[in-house]
Each structure stands twice: as C-alpha cells, then as structure tokens.
Amino acid sequence: MIILGLSGALGHDPSAALLVDGEVVAAAEEERFIRDKHAKNHMPVESARYCLTAAGIEPSKVDVVAFPYAPISLAGRARWHFAKRYWYAPDRAADALFNGNRRFRRNRQRVLAAGHTLGIDWQRTEFVPVEHHLAHASSAYHLSGFDEKTAIMGVDGKGEYATTFFGYGENGRIHRIKEFYDPDSLSGVYGAITEYLGFEMLDGEYKVMGMAPFGDPDKYDLSRIIRAAGDGFEVDTEYVNTVGLRRYKEAGVGFYFSQKLIDWLGPRRQGDMADEPYIHYAASMQKLFEEWCLQLMETYLGDVLRETGKLAFAGGGALNVKLNQRIVALEHVDELFVQPASGDSGTSLGAATYVANERGERLSKMTHVFLGPRYTNAECLAALQAAEQPIDFRVLDDVAAEVADLLAAGHPVAWLQGRMELGPRARGGRSILGCPSVIGVADRINEQIKFRERWRPFCPSVLDRVAAEIIQTDHPAPFMTITFDVAEGWKDRIPEVVHEDGTARVQIVEEPHNPRYYALLQHLERLTGNAVVLNTSLNRRGEPIVCSPQDALDMFFGSDLEYLALEDYLVTKPPEEE
C-alpha cells in the first residue's frame, strides 16, 4: 500500500511523508524547498512532489492521502470545553458549538486542491483524516520500536481542540487515557512567554530553553498562570493563551498574552541580549513547564510506566530537551523515545503511520532521519560551475580526513552530505561543524556565520563507542532530543559544546546510518583525542536548513564561511586581492 501523509492544517510547518508497504521511504518539510521558514499558509506541494519522485511513484498510484486534522464531534467534551473557557470572546465560543469543524472543511478542500496540483487521482485515492494528537502519538509510538505496552505522551500547542494527550500503546493500538483542550495548553503557555521574551511563537521556544540556564528559576514565581483543576490543570487566560480583546497589542500586532501580564512582569523584551530580568523569567517558565509535564505524566501514565518502563513522546513540547532529561532520570522510565520531528512537521509522518497500522501494515523502528533529497557529485558540480561569484573548488580524495584536518586547525566547515534530515535539527547531513576543543569557535559561528544570539548553545555529535563515557549513561540518543550532564573529565576537553548548566544535547553517531560522518569523527579523534564534533544546522538566522547545493552556496556567499564540503568537493573563497 502507498500512503502519502500531508500536513499543514495549522498554517505552519507543512510537510510530506511517503510510506510504501509500511516502510518510510521519504519525508521532508516544505520550507526546505520553497526557502521560507515554517512555510506559513502553504500546502506541502513541493515536499510531496519530492517524496513521490524519490520513490519513483506516479501520483495516480497513491492509495491513501492521510491528513493530521479531523472533524470533532459535538457529542464529545472538546468543543464544549472550548466554548466554556472562551466565554469572554462569544464569537469564538459560538463558532466552536455551531460551526466547530469549519477549519476541517477548509483544510480538506486545500488538501484536495494540492492533490490535484500533484496529479493525485481522487477517484482512486482515498482521503483519510486523522486527529492531530493521534498523528503525534502514532509518529512516536509506531516508530519507537517498542514491542511491549508503551506509555504515550503528547504535549503540543493545540490541534483541532486537544492540546495535551496521555495514553498507551499495546499490540499496535493507541488507547486514550486523558486529553486536555484549548485554551488549557502547557505548550501554549510556553509559546506565550516566548512571545513576551521577544521571540516568535512556534519558532523561538528553543531560544527560551537555551536562555533559561542563565537565570534563577526561583527569583520570579510564574506559577499563577497555571493552576490546579481536579487531577489536571487550567491556564489563567487573563494572563496568557488569550484571544480577542484580551490580547496585548504592540504596533498593531496582537500577542498571545495580555496587558495584565505586562503590568505584572514589565515591558516585553527587545533585542538580542540575555539580560535581567528576562533570563529569570525564562528559567521560571522552563521550571514551571517541566514540573507540570512531570506531574501530569505521573498522574495519568505513572502506573503504565511502572509496568513497562517505556515512553513514546511527541508534540512540540517533546522538543524541550531539558524536560526530556528529567524524564530519563526518573527511576520508573527505562527508555524514552522522542520523535525527532516532534512538532507539526512530523504529523504528516504520524498520520501516514497511523493509517498504515490501522490497515495491518507492520512498521519498523525509526533509526535515522535521512529521508530528504540526496544530490550527486554531478549536480554539485553543475551548481559550482553556475555560481555567479568567484569560488575555488577541488575534489577531495578523502572527505572525512581532509575536513577533520580543517576542523582541528580551528576552521568551521559547512557540510552537505547525503540525504537531508527530517526535523528541526541537523545530524550530519546539512550541518556546520567545528572542533569543540577550539576556544571561540562557537562565538565565531554564532556571530559571523549564523548571525544569531551569541549566548545560544551548540550540540555535540559523538561516536557511539565513547558516548557513555561522556554522558554517563547508555541511554539511546541518536536524534539530539535529550540533554545529559557532561562528565567532569570531558567539560574541559569539549568546552564549546557544554552549555551554561553543564549539559549537552548529544547526538550519538552510529556508522551504518552515516558512515562518512562517522569516519570524520574517527579522524578528529586521532587529531585531537576527542571523538566529538560541534554540530549545528546549516542555515542562517531566520532561514530554513539548507536543502540543495545551490542553497548551500547561497549561504556560503552570504556569511563568513571559508570552507564548504559539498559531497566530494571542497569549496573555498579565493583570496582577496590586496
């Protein structure tokens, strides 16, 4: 069976994923192809076209198009809860009750139109909607590789109405235990504070997480914005998760928090500095988010976790690596699988896997994220020869060894090799690399190459055979979804990838999934004694991760990068004339 998953219902991060007989053969975000970060209000036409072309499948042969957004019955709690909690905005409340599936109908028409553009035969191809949080749950559970009963958690901004999901998977079936509904959203609160701290919601949450270790979480108490309600929680919408007239406005732009929050905490943060009191607000928000997630997880999944020890986690909140570190530290959690594309870009994959499982197909464990386009040396050469600015390039006899030499000498190197990664983080396919023992290389990459805030941390990719020594555990970590405490003996050896709080968001590299990257780490170990490389995504601030050789060259010319490893080619800039 050929199943094409398409996402984009919520207006951001559209993507496509293709399953053939239960195997994930291709998946990619639309932003990478149209070069518009988050691809807001686009449908995943180019990413779907890539998936079909990569698999050699005619659009008319697709059996099912799965979409992670579904109609919600008025007979359930979701729409009534929404209406009750948004009483202060009667137009919103009434719409939920009397026209509550309006967005689904609109999205269905958009999917059908995108299918026509692609060449989908809707007389033959079935359109199957999947509830948003079931898609998130499937993307984690069905690809976790866990055979035993598995606890499932989904923490997201919101889907149709649900924001937070607790359930379990057993024998391939997903069972719901509890859902929370908009506006009661932990990720929504985090997003609102993200806006207050001067970042863009659905983009800057990881910046808040990176800022938090510089602050004192106990200096300011933000707990009033989330209160206990029975065995769950309720958000105080007089402060955050606000709509309509309650929203704070600045220069005509409405935010997801209120004037009351400004009156309490002070003016919204501006600029790039990690300064007071905002670093303390970030730390307090991070602590509040962690504590509520852990409390709810214990309430609804504690018994399941003590029975099985396995947890599958997805939704935008699952990208909070500090929360994930605390989950892994729990005595009754033996293994945590976080979907590497946990945000909405992973729901195309989740919708497709959910439908595949429902129709009896066996799904394999997700072991890597290299599901995007690959470019040949011939395609790289064509891009190099067409470059409008002067460059020098040559073929490398041993790419891994020669790039390791450059890194050990202190040079950052852009690295485009093999298939592009799915998800928001680079893992050795589209990366900027540095030597983590070279003091100052992180500042240089932040300031001169990525043009981002200088306090932002970087991640280490490490060889599998030395990882346990560095992170002091043998817990799997192939996807950069968990932070770990770095062993004392390693902090001084790789200081450029150790964050303010002594942790690192590690990627453990295994040879079968990326042999050239693995070889690079081996060579770097011989040169420096450390089988570790600084790894950050190949993009500049505000841009999507690079996809093609032309994208890589555009970034190369638009930054202070001096070296670009483009498959077998090493690209450099000619020396400036005196």
Place of tokens 């693995």: 518
Q: How far apart are CA 398 and CA 568, in angstroms?
A: 8
Q: How far apart are CA 133 and CA 70, in angstroms?
A: 10
Identify residue 425 by its one-letter amino acid code.
Answer: R
Q: How far apart are CA 398 and CA 108, in angstroms?
A: 50
Task: Give the strand pairing for 563-566 and 569-572.
Answer: antiparallel
Q: Of 12, 42, 81, 280, which one is the catalytic site residue?
A: 12
Q: At what angle do helices 45-55 and 102-118 cross, to 10 degrees?
A: 50
Place of tokens 């929404």: 82
Identify whether 81 is a catalytic site residue.
Answer: no
Q: How far apart are CA 411 and CA 144, in angstroms?
A: 37
Residues 6+ apart with CB under 8 A from 254: 247, 248
Q: How far apart are CA 380 and CA 383, in angstroms?
A: 5
DSSP character for 449?
A: I
Q: How far apart are CA 244 and CA 256, in angstroms?
A: 10
Q: At what angle do helices 377-385 and 549-557 cross, to 10 degrees?
A: 40
For residue 536, report the phi and psi dihedrals to the nearest 5 degrees.
-135, 160
Three-state SS for 569? strand
Task: Give the CA dihedral 371, 480, 436, 28, nearest 10 degrees.
Answer: 20
H or E element that contains 565: strand 563-566
Cβ pair 549, 380 in contact under 8 A: yes
Identify residue 8 by its one-letter amino acid code.
Answer: G
In what side-by-side order are the strands of the sheet with 15-20? 23-29, 15-20, 2-6, 64-67, 126-129
* Token pair of 71 as six digits: 């109609």
Q: How far apart are the first and last CA of the chain?
A: 63
Cβ pair 561, 48 in contact under 8 A: no
For residue 127, report the phi and psi dihedrals to the nearest 5 degrees.
-95, 120
DSSP character for 336?
A: E
Task: Give the strand pairing for 532-537 and 173-181.
Answer: unpaired
Q: How far apart are CA 537 and CA 550, in angstroms?
A: 16
Reported as half-sphere exposure (CB side, CA atoms, 13 A), residue 480 has a value of: 24
Catalytic residues: 12
